[in-house]
Chain A
Amino acid sequence: MIANHQIHVYHPQKTRPDDLEAIFVGREPLVNDILARLEEWKPSSSRQHYLIMGRRGIGKTCLLQIIRHRILQSVLSAKCFPIILAEEGYSLGSIACLLLQALEVLSTEFRDKEVVIMVGQLKHDPDDKKVVDLALDAFRRYHKETGKCVLLMIENMNRVLDWQMRHGVQTHLLRKILIEEDWLVLIATSPTYVNAITKPDEPLFEFFQIKTLNELTLEEQTLLLNKLAQLEGNTGFSEHVAEFQSKLHALYHYTGGNPRLSVLLYPLIAHQRFADVQGELVSLLDSMTPFYHERMNDLAPQEAYVIEQMALMPECCTPTELAKNARMSAKIVRSLLKRLEESGYVRREPRRKKQTIYIIPERFFRIWLQMSYSRTLRGRTQYLLEFFFTWYSLQEEHSRVHDEWAKQSCRGMTVKKDDFAKHAVEHMQSSNVVSEHREKYAQEVVATFAGNDIDIEKNTTHARSRIPIEPPAYDSAKILHFFHQKEWGDNANNRKLAQWFLFLAFKARKLSLIRDILGSTSKHTDAEYFTPHLIALNFLESNRDPSIIERQHPEVREAVLLLVELYDHPNDDTMQNNIDKSVYENDAFFT
C-alpha cells in the first residue's frame, strides 16, 4: 500500500483508475492506437479485433482498465461502451455464457428495463442456442438505441478458447459473431500462445491483430519507480536512487522489466534499508508464490519441467546442456525452448563460442524456482547468494551490510539458545557473500560446526553445501500464546509473523483460531495479504462450497488450495517449503 493510494498488484481493477493512470508507463502508443481506431468506428466500417499477449504481471489487465477509463472519461463514451470480462471468470464455457456475462454487465450499467428482464430470463435457460440468439438481439437493440459499439474485453483468452470452449463449433460461432455483428469490437488478452488463434487449422487463425506487451526498458522501469515514489510522497527517493544507481540495475536484473514485479520490489529500493533486505526478499518470494504457481500452470507439463531444470542450472545454458540435465532429447528440448521463447519465459542470448545459449530473463522468477523446486541444500541457499551478489554490487554496500549482519548475528547468539548454530550459520553465509573478508567468515562457518559429523573442508562452497538448514521444531502453544501478546503494526515482519501464526493455526485445524488471528491482523496490517487465508477459512466453514473457490482470481485460488491442503494434511512436511523460515528466527519472537 502506498500512503492513501492502494495499488492492487494482483487486482489492478480494484485500484483507483487515477492511481493506475499515475503509474502507467510504456504502453501509451498502443493505447492511443486502439483508441484512435475506436474513434473511427461506425456501422459497416472495418473493425480491428486485437489479441494482447504478454506474461503474467506484464500489465494486460492494467492496460484494459486504462482503455476503459479513457473511453469513459472522453467523448468516446458517446460512441463506445466498454465491457471487461474479468480474468477471475471460469465460467466462460460457451459463447452463450460469454454473451450472458457481457449482457449482465450491460444491464448493470445501461439499466435498460428490457435488457434487465432479458438477463433474468436467460440466466437460468439451459438452451445455449436460445441464449446466444436472444443475447445478440439485446445487444443489437442497445446498439440501435444508443448508436454505440460494444468494446468487449476478455482476459485470459487462452483459457477460454483452449480449455473452456473445447467444442470447435464454439470457436466457429465466435468468428461468425465477430464478422457479422457490426456493433462488436473485441480485445482479448492472453499470457501465452492461444492454440485456437495460432494453429493454422483453427477458425480464428490469424483473425486478430496480435500485440505483444514487452517488458519495460530500464528507463521505463525507472520512470515507473519514480512515479510510485511520487504517488507515495517519497520525496527522498530520487536522491537515494542517484546515490545507488546500481540498485536500479539490480532491480532491473531481477524483474526483467516486469511491471508487477517492479511494483512489488519497489519497497526494496524505496527506503534506505540494508540488513533487512534478506527478510524482505524472502517475504516477497513467499507472497509471489501464488503468482508464479499460476505462471507455471500456464505451461504444458514438459515446458514447466524444462523451465524448472533451467532454473536449477547455472544462469546461461545451451540446449544440449539442458537436455542432459533434464534427461531429454536435445531435439525435444530445442522445440520446447522455441515455444518458451515465443511466450517470453526464456530468452536466447548472443552466442557463446558458436553455441546458442538461453537464460530466464526474469531473474526473480528464476530465484523463486530455485527456492521452490530445489531438492538440495545448496539449491535452497543458492538463490540468496545469487541475489546478494547482484543486489550489493558496490564494495561500500558490502561492508555496510556485513557490519549490520555481524551485529545481528552476535545478538542472536546471546539471546537464542536452541537453534543458535543454524541461526548463526545463515547470517554468516550471508555475510560471507558480501564481505570483503570472505575467507575469514568461511572459516567461522566451518568452525561453528567443528566437532559435528560434517566433513569439514576449507572449500567454502563445499562446506556451505553440507550445512543443514532446516526449520527447527516449533512449539505451537508457545507461539499461539505469543500471538495474543503481540503488539501489531503494519510492517513486513509483522505480516510474516501473522502468516506464520496462520500457518500453525491451519496445521492445528482450528478454524476459530484462524478467524481470531485474521480478525486481529486485518485491523493493523494490509488485509490483501490475508485474502487467501480468509477465503480458505470461508471455504472450510461452508462445508467446502466449491463456488467459493471457483469464483476467485486464479492466483488467489492457488494460494487457497495450498492452505486447504495444509489443513487436510498437517503432517505433510513438503508444505514447509512454502513457509518463510526467517519468521521463527526473528530475535524478538523468542524474547
Chain B
Amino acid sequence: MSINLVTGGVPRGQDYFGRESFIEQLWSRLRTDNVLLLAPRRYGKTGAMFQLLDNPRAPFRPIFINVEPIESASDFMIELLASLRQDDRLAQMTNKLWEGTKNIGKNLKKSTAQIDIGMFKVHLREHTDVQENWALYGEKIIELLEKGQDRPLLMIDEFPIMVHHIAQHNIDELRRLMRWFRSARLTPKAKTRFLLGGSINLMPTLDAIGLIGTVNDLAIEKLGPFDDETAFRFIKTAITSQKMVVGEGVIQHIVDIIGTHVPYLLSVLVTSLFDRQRTKGKPITNEMVDDVFSTELLSRATPFFNHYYRRLQDYYAGDEVRQAKVLLSLLSRAAGPVQRDTLYQEYLRVSGIPHTSDALEKFLWLMQKLENDFYVSLFENKYDFSNRTIKLWWQTNYGYQFV
C-alpha cells in the first residue's frame, strides 16, 4: 500500500489512512440517526465526509456542502438547493420545485447541473423569492425528497462556523433557521439524513443564545487521534511510500516522541523528516527525529495547542472561562486522573458558591462541554486530559497560573 502525506488539505482515497472502523461506525450510525461529527481541527472530519462521498453506500446518496462562508439563512438554503441539483437522481425530485416557473425552468434546461452550479445560484437569487421565503422552500424541498426512492445524505461541513456567522448578523434569523432545521430532521417521513461537521464549539455557541435544544436530536460521533498501532502503521506506510531509509527502531521512536497521534502532527513530522533526509542524504535516525521534533514540530505545534487555550476565551460564556481554566490547571498538575468529586469541590471554590443542585448541574454541564471539545475524557468517574501532550503543554504554560 502506498500513500501520499497530505498536510493541511483533505486526504482522499487511500491517503485517508487508518479510519476504516470509524467510517464503518459512521455508516452504521447514519442508518438510524442524524449525526454531529465532532473533532478538534486537523483530526480528519472533512476527510471522513469525503470518504462517504467517494464511496457511497445504498440507499444513501451523499452530497457534500461546506457552509463556512455563509452568513444568512437564505444563502444556506440557496447552497442547499444548488448542491442537491448536482446529483442526477436527486435533481429529478428537486427540479419539481421549479415546475411552472418560467425563468428557472428555462435555466434548468440549458445548464449542466455539475458545472453551472454558480449560474443556478445566481438565478435563485435574482429570479426567485428564495431569499425572502427560504423557510418555505426548505419545507417544500424536504417534502419532495420524501417522495423519491433515494435517501439523500447531506453532509454539512463547518456548520458551527455558519451558525456563528449568522448569530453575529441576525440572531432572530438564526433562531428561525435552527428551528426549521430541527423540524426538517424530525419530520416523521423524512428520508434525508444529515451529517453535520465542525471543530469549533457548536454547543457553547448555541448554549449562550438559548438554542441548545435545537440540536439535542443529533447523535454525536467523535473522531479521536490514532491509537499507537495505527500511528505505527501510518508512519511505516508513509516512509515506505516515499522509499525513505530509516534506522532500526526509528518508527517506534517517532510514535513514542510525538505522544499525541494527531494525523496532522504525524504528517508534519514525517514530511519534515523527509525534507531533512533529502538535504543531509543520510538515513533517518533517532537523533534526527529528536532534532526535527524539537526544532520544527514543537514550533508548529505551539499554535496548534494554543488554540485549545484561546477557544475557551472565545466560545465559553462568562464565569465558565475561569472555572474551566482552573479545573484544567488542576488536572494538568495531577499525576493521574482526578475524581469527579474532587473537581467539583474545586469548581465550588473557584466559583465562590455553596453546593446546590443547580451548582452541580452547572458543573456537570461544564465538564460535558470540556469533554465534547476534547479537553478531557471521563473514565470510571475520573477525569483526565484527553491526551498526554496537551496535558504537558498545559502544565508547562498554564499549570500554575490558574489556581
- Are A176 and B271 closer than 8 Å at their CB atoms? no
Interface hits, B115-158 → A, CB 8 Å: 115-119, 121-122, 125, 157-158
A208 touches B117 (CB 8 A): no
Given A176-B66, A199-B303, A137 contacting B117 (CB threshold 8 A): yes
Question: Which residue of chain A has the shortest Cβ distance to B53 in the bound complex?
Answer: A44
Bound CA span A170–B303, Å: 22
Report if A4 contacts B (CB, 8 A). Answer: no
How far, in angstroms, from A97 to B71 measured CA to CA in the complex? 20
What CA separation (Å) do A304 and B322 show in the bound complex? 37
* Contact in complex: A209, B12 (CB < 8 Å): no
B6 CB → nearest A CB, Å: 5
Nearest CB on A from B371, distance (A)? 21
CB distance from A136 to the nearest CB of B (A): 5
Closest to A138 in B: B118
Which partner residue on chain A sits nearest B123 by CB separation? A133
Q: Assess whether B161 is in contact with A44, with CB atoms less than 8 Å apart.
A: no
- The answer for the CA separation of A547 and B102 in the assembled complex, in Å, is 44
B116 touches A179 (CB 8 A): no
Contact A46 B122 (CB under 8 A): no
Write the nearest CB–CB distance from B280 to chain A, whole angstroms.
12
Chain B's closest residue to A37 (CB) is B4
Q: Given contacts A46-B13, A172-B161, is CB(A208)–CB(B68) below 8 Å?
A: no
Quick check: A135 and B118 within 8 Å, CB to CB? yes
* Interface presence of A140 (CB below 8 A): yes
Whether A572 is near chain B, meaning CB under 8 Å from some CB there, is no
**CB <8 Å contact, A205 and B303:** yes
Chain B residues with CB below 8 A from A22, complex form = none
Q: Does B15 contact A (CB under 8 A)?
A: yes
Q: Are A172 and B68 in contact, with the CB atoms below 8 A?
A: yes
Residues of A within 8 A of B122 (CB): 129-130, 133-134
Q: Is the CB of A29 within 8 A of B278?
A: yes
A201 at the interface (CB under 8 A from B): yes
The complex places the Cα of A130 from the Cα of B307 at a distance, in Å, of 34
Q: Is the CB of B114 within 8 A of A140?
A: yes
Q: Is A470 interfacial (CB 8 A cutoff)?
A: no
B9 touches A136 (CB 8 A): no
Smallest beta-carbon distance B350→chain A, Å: 26
**Chain A neighbourhood of B207, CB < 8 A:** none
B-side contacts of A206, CB under 8 Å: 7-8, 41-42, 264, 300, 303-304
Chain B residues with Cβ below 8 Å from A179 are: 9-10, 46, 66, 157
Contact check, B118 vs A136: say whether CB atoms are below 8 A apart.
yes
Q: Mark A117-149, 1 if CB is under 8 A from B, else 0.
A: 000000000000110111111001100100000
Q: Are A46 and B11 in contact (CB under 8 A)?
A: yes
The answer to whether B344 has its CB under 8 Å from any CB of chain A is no
Instruction: Give Cα distance in the complex from A173 to B8, angstroms.
Output: 16
Q: Number of contact residues on B: which range applies?
A: 35 or more
- Contact between B8 and A137, CB atoms less than 8 A apart: no
**B residues within 8 A CB of A137?**
115-119
Asked whether B54 is an interface residue with its Cβ less than 8 Å from the other chain, the reply is yes
B179 lies within 8 A of chain A by Cβ: no
Indicate whether A134 sits within 8 Å of B118 (C-beta atoms), given known contacts A49-B8, A172-B68: yes
**A180 and B9 contacting across the interface, CB-CB below 8 Å:** no
With a CB–CB cut-off of 8 A, which chain B residues contact A314? none
Cross-chain contact of B4 among A40, A144, A170, A205 (Cβ < 8 A): A40
Q: Which A residues touch B306, using CB under 8 A?
A: 200
Chain B positions within 8 Å of A249 at CB level: none
How near does chain A come to B136, taking the closest CB pair, in angstroms?
22
Closest B residue to A132 by CB, please name it.
B118
Count of chain A residues with a beta carbon within 8 Å of a chain B beta carbon? 40
Nearest Cβ distance between residue B11 and chain A, in whole angstroms? Answer: 5
A141-B116 Cα distance, complex, nearest whole Å: 8
- B37-73, CB under 8 A of A: which get 1 and which 0? 0000110001000000010000000001010110100
Chain B hits for A45, CB < 8 A: 12-13, 15
Chain A residues with Cβ under 8 A from B157's Cβ?
A: 179
Minimal Cβ-Cβ distance residue in A for B82: A133
Q: Which residues of chain A are near B31, meaning CB under 8 Å?
A: none
Chain A residues, CB < 8 A from B6: 46-48
- The answer to whether A49 and B303 have CB atoms under 8 Å apart is no
The distance in angstroms between the C-alpha atoms of A206 and B117, with both chains bound, is 29
CA distance A347 to B299 in the complex (A): 16
A245-262: CB near B (< 8 Å → 1, else 0) gives 000000000000000000
Q: By the criterion CB–CB under 8 Å, are B64 and A44 in contact? A: no
Taken residue by residue from 263 to 278, chain B's Cβ proximity to chain A (1 for < 8 Å, 0 otherwise) reads as 0100000010000001
Of chain A, the residue at the smallest CB distance from B126 is A130
The one of A47, A173, A200 that contacts B9, using a Cβ cutoff of 8 Å: A47
In angstroms, how far is the closest chain A Cβ from the Cβ of B262? 11
State whether the Cβ of B110 lies closer than 8 Å to any Cβ in chain A: no
Q: Is A86 interfacial (CB 8 A cutoff)?
A: no
Tell me the bound Cα distance from A190 to B279 in angstroms. 23
Q: Is the CB of A208 within 8 A of B8?
A: yes
Interface string of A22-62 (1 = CB under 8 A from B): 00000001000000010010001111110000000000000
* Residues in chain A near residue B16, CB distance under 8 A: 46
Contact A134 B54, beta carbon cutoff 8 Å: no
In the complex the two chains form, what is the Cα distance from A170 to B69 in whole Å? 7
Question: Contacts A133-B119, A172-B69 hold; do A46 and B271 have CB atoms under 8 A apart?
Answer: no
Asked if A207 is an interface residue, CB under 8 A from chain B, the answer is yes
Which residues on the A side are within 8 Å of B222 (C-beta)? Answer: none
B243 at the interface (CB under 8 A from A): no
Over the window 207-245 of chain A, the binary record of Cβ atoms lying under 8 Å from chain B Cβ atoms (1 yes, 0 no) is 111000000000000000000000000000000000000
| Complex interface: chain A residues within 8 A of B115 (CB) | 137, 140-141, 144
Question: Residues of A with Cβ closer than 8 Å to B?
Answer: 29, 37, 40, 44-49, 129-130, 132-137, 140-141, 144, 169-170, 172-173, 175-176, 178-180, 198-201, 203, 205-209, 342
> Nearest 8 pairs between A and B by C-beta?
A133-B118, A200-B307, A173-B69, A209-B7, A172-B69, A137-B118, A172-B68, A176-B66
| 10 pairs of residues in contact across A and B, judged by CB atoms under 8 Å | A45-B15, A46-B16, A129-B122, A130-B122, A133-B118, A140-B115, A205-B303, A206-B264, A206-B300, A342-B299
Interface on B for A, CB 8 Å cutoff? 4, 6-13, 15-16, 41-42, 46, 54, 64, 66, 68-69, 71, 112, 114-119, 121-122, 125, 157-158, 161, 165, 264, 271, 278-279, 299-300, 303-304, 306-307, 310-311, 314
Apart from A130-B122, A132-B118, A178-B9, what are 12 other A-B pairs with CB-CB below 8 Å?
Answer: A37-B4, A47-B6, A48-B9, A49-B9, A137-B115, A137-B118, A179-B157, A180-B64, A199-B303, A201-B314, A206-B8, A209-B8
